[in-house]
Structure 1
Amino acid sequence: MVCLEMQCDYIGSAMTSRTLRKRLHHGDVDGKKMEHLETSESDDLNVPLLGNYSDRHAEETTLEEIWDDERRKEHLHWTLLFSQLIAQWAQWLASIVLGSGSLIGRLLTFFTSTQNGASAKLFAPPLSPLQEARLRYLRQRLQVPFDGSRMEHQDALLELWRLAYPDKELPPLQSDLWKQMGWQGSDPSTDFRGGGFISLENLIFFARQYPESFQRLLHKQDGTRAEWEYPFAVAGINISFVLAQMLDLQSAKPTTLAGIRFLELLKEDEMAFDNLYCVAFQMMDAQWLVKRASFMDFNDVMKSTTSQLERELALEDVSSVKDLPAYNLLRR
């Protein structure tokens, strides 16, 4: 990025009993404009403010400064244009010629993230029709709120109870019995504000695909637990919400490394989000035990979980959820 430093001189006019000469300096320190004002006094009122410079010389200096400024602007314009062309070329080469899965391709994709000197966002490679369809379907799921008045949503909630407690009788939709699953009150529908219906789908998927891990986390069977444990169901809703944010799924195209790597997982697995959810839930519980956390530490545990998950998604040999090291924590 081209950095320009500017210095502006201002010569004041004569005042009643003395001459003031002022020079205003502009600097850029850590991105902040700083100004410094120097003032000098002269007892001789006859000293010309421009010293020995003639008006002619002042005019030439002004014109020269104008031309210099125009040349700098033109140079900056072509520099930015050239950097954009290079970034576009690198992105094309990474995604089409070398393929986004190769190491060199990924490095070139990283290069495009520093356009115009900004550390910013990455560019996702072009998606296949299959990836686009799966991503579109996932986004549609994310937009569905939980609605306790809809029969299919009520049925899904009861299905979760059957999977969690196969030997227990189904409770009413509003009952204190729901609290033992980790809902905050007697009406689970009030806990879906952030997660939406997909968070309930995630819990059901977890219970069906990895029943042993689901039961162990539900009943807190692993490790030495805290006196104040995290509520299982509410934690599950939070994980759905945080995972969608981490993967940048609300953007037209993900611009985070984790989000771009997730698009690659969609090539192999239509249910990549749900499987990644199960990994994240198991990973969160492992972090909880390592940190000897209690209820008030939940947010810190979630931050550690997302950081670890981002690191694993960045690994070179990960092309599916099953390639993640933390996937080995899950048990069927």
Structure 2
Amino acid sequence: MTSRTLRRRLHHGDVDGRNEHLDISGSDGLSEPLLGNYGYDDSHSEGYNNGNQGDIWDEQKTERLHWTHLFSHLLAQWAQWLANIVIGSGSLLGRLLPFPFTSPNGHHNNTFSLSLSPLQEERLKNLQQRLEIPFDGTRLDHQDALKQLWRLAYPDRELPSLKSELWKEMGWQGPDPSTDFRGGGFISLENLIFFSKNYPDSFQRLLHKQEGRRAEWEYPFAVAGINISFMLAQMLDLQSGTLTSIAGMRFLELLGEDEMAFDHLYCVAFQMMDAQWLAKRASYMEFNEVLKSTRSQLERELALEDVSTVKDLPAYNMLNR
């Protein structure tokens, strides 16, 4: 199969059978993924009140609140038990995380109260600041970063203009890459550059789809990278302001060991996603399913007891420099 055939892809508006117009203006930082809906919003229908229906609903509401409170309490106890097993009392986070977390009003919550070291606080703050920077195609430094990515991806080819059909060959969905950052901020471009610099063999292999039996409709490389940046930020609770996951806690431990832990984890996730893609014999319409499987696998590996750096993850061994 030729490289031209491998680059065939559907427009992201056709994902999940829909053909919708996507507004790419005014996005800030990492907001939402490009290839379909990675997160889902619950829809609520409007009810009605008739006779004693309101009283019945009040009773049901009270009962639901009772069970919700009970479930939250049990969940907090489960989190304490799980953290003791997965993280271990001897680790840094095992010493710093009190379970369960109790809010000022006395109610239990399944979030975690962290006492970070000064180094962790500084590195986490720097990472969160990176996540808040949107891509701005009018900024010279952002334009230069795009040009740098091209030179790293295609060192023997002439640099195209910032609007050129040639950008599609890298997996951008149109001739202007700046329009593809709707779901990701500037950090997603930094992640791609970091990948190409630190793991050039793996980067080139995935860019050119050199391994395995590929699908006729392949995932677009660059846009897939933006989705991976978004997925990681969600998985690690980096933008929610509330830590709710074991993966997020373990990541803070990794961040204490390596300031660039997020970028290294991105490279692992990209390689892992491609391996999942091949194992599932997936095509473009199944990208979201593959990304969710990648997240699940990454969460499992982050929960391993002997993982103290990104390089300790089993999937790290798939990367080649």
TM-score (normalizing by structure 1): 0.68
- Separation in 2, partners of 1:225, 1:30: 54
Gaps spanning 5+ residues in structure 1: where? 1-23, 34-79
- Separation in 2, partners of 1:30, 1:275: 47
2:268 maps to: 279
- Contact map agreement 2:229 2:266 (CA 8 A) in 1: yes
- Separation in 1, partners of 2:310, 2:254: 7
Q: Which of 126, 140, 143 pairs up with 2:115?
A: 126
Gaps spanning 5+ residues in structure 2: where? 1-55
Deviation at 1:194, TM superposition (A): 1.3
Query: Are 1:112 and 2:64 counterparts?
Result: no
Q: Which of 91, 94, 99 pairs up with 1:101?
A: 91
Relative to its length, the structure with more strand (as a share) is: 1
Query: Are 1:178 and 2:175 counterparts?
Result: no
Aligned residue-pair number: 248
Give CA deviations for 1:267-326 in whole Å, capped at 9, x if unaligned: 110000000000000000000000000000000000000000011111111111001111
- Separation in 2, partners of 1:205, 1:127: 27
Distance 1:327 1:113, change over 3 A: farther
Q: Which of 221, 232, 238 pairs up with 2:221?
A: 232
- Separation in 1, partners of 2:239, 2:112: 15
Distance 1:31 1:295, change over 3 A: farther
Q: RCO greater where, 1 or 2, for CA within 8 Å and sep 6 or more?
A: 2
Runs of 4+ aligned residues of structure 1 deviating over 2 Å after TM superposition are 26-33, 108-111, 113-118, 251-255
2:289 maps to: 300
Query: Are 1:319 and 2:314 counterparts?
Result: no
Query: What is the aligned-residue identity percentage?
Result: 70
1:289 maps to: 278
- Contact map agreement 1:284 1:305 (CA 8 A) in 2: yes
Deviation at 1:225, TM superposition (A): 0.4
- Contact map agreement 1:239 1:281 (CA 8 A) in 2: yes
Distance 1:185 1:126, change over 3 A: same
- Separation in 2, partners of 1:220, 1:308: 22
SS of residue in 1 equivalent to 2:184: coil
1:191 maps to: 180
Larger radius of gyration: 1
SS of residue in 2 equivalent to 1:193: helix
TM-score (normalizing by structure 2): 0.70
- Separation in 2, partners of 1:244, 1:224: 30
- Contact map agreement 2:119 2:256 (CA 8 A) in 1: yes
- Separation in 1, partners of 2:202, 2:251: 23
The amino acid that maps onto 2:176 is: D
RMSD: 3.1
- Separation in 2, partners of 1:303, 1:263: 22
